[in-house]
Amino acid sequence: MKQFIIILITICFSINSFTQDLHFVYVRFENTMDTEILKEQIEKLIIDFSDSDFILYYSNENTTMDGYSWNKRELFRQINSQNSSIPISPPDELEKISVPLEQHLQDKSYSDLYFHYCIGSKFFDNDFHNKLFAKMLIVNSLIPSKYNIYLRYYPCGDFYNPEKIQFDTEYNINLIPKIISSL
């Protein structure tokens, strides 16, 4: 009986360690966004998932941070000094966001993957949404049969409608993204 209880406890701990979440935050500042709302949103996100693993990628400065390298002051300094959008190269960007994501997925087992996108409306006008985010899901084999995947969009003072955040049908991605416009 004692061995059975030990086995049961071991199983519970192993299941509990498997159910950890990974949060990926992609930040791309555009002139249409409100800087203060963007900073508040990032801070709220980091606090909300402080018990989970996270990766934050600030595209404008090519900065990647995680739970070990998180530096709010440095990130906010970069955001404050940004006065315009910087050109983006989807293939380069795809590699930059896929490498840390792949590393986290290899190091640990996750059941839930959350993608938080703090982006402006111009991102959709240039079809970066499909060129980058859809391909990131495909390249990293992020499919609903392996993970529970959640896509969340934060306009941070900008506006876009639900139709814009849908992926092109050619990618065959059947996820329901959600726009969160209030803190």
| Chain segment 28-69, per-residue pLDDT in tens | 999 889 999 999 999 999 999 878 899 999 999 889 999 889
**pLDDT for the residue 20:** 86
User: Please, which pLDDT band fits residue 117 given cuts at 50, 70 and 90?
Assistant: very high
Nearest-angstrom CA–CA distance, 64 and 100: 8
Interval 152-172 mean pLDDT: 91
Average pLDDT, the chain: 86
Percent of the chain with pLDDT over 90: 48
**pLDDT for the residue 3:** 60
User: Please, which pLDDT band fits residue 1 given cuts at 50, 70 and 90?
Assistant: low
Could you identify the residue written with the tokens 């159910």?
Answer: 19
**pLDDT for the residue 19:** 63
Nearest-angstrom CA–CA distance, 167 and 183: 25
Nearest-angstrom CA–CA distance, 37 and 27: 12
In a 13 Å sphere around the CA of 112, the CA atoms on its Cβ side amount to: 14
- Please say if the pLDDT value at position 5 is more than 70: no
**pLDDT for the residue 14:** 47
- Please say if the pLDDT value at position 84 is more than 50: yes
User: Please, which pLDDT band fits residue 126 given cuts at 50, 70 and 90?
Assistant: confident
Helix and strand numbers (H, E) in the chain are: 7, 6
Structure tokens at 162: 């639900």
100 close to 23: Cβ distance less than 8 angstroms = no
Assign domain 20-179 to its CATH architecture: 3-Layer(aba) Sandwich (3.40)
**pLDDT for the residue 51:** 81
Predicted TM-score (pTM) of the model is: 0.86
| Cβ count near 17 (within 10 Å) | 10
Residue 120 makes CB contacts below 8 A (sequence gap 6+) with 28, 29, 30, 31, 32, 33, 85, 155, 156, 158
The gap from C-alpha 14 to its chain's centroid, in whole angstroms, comes to 26
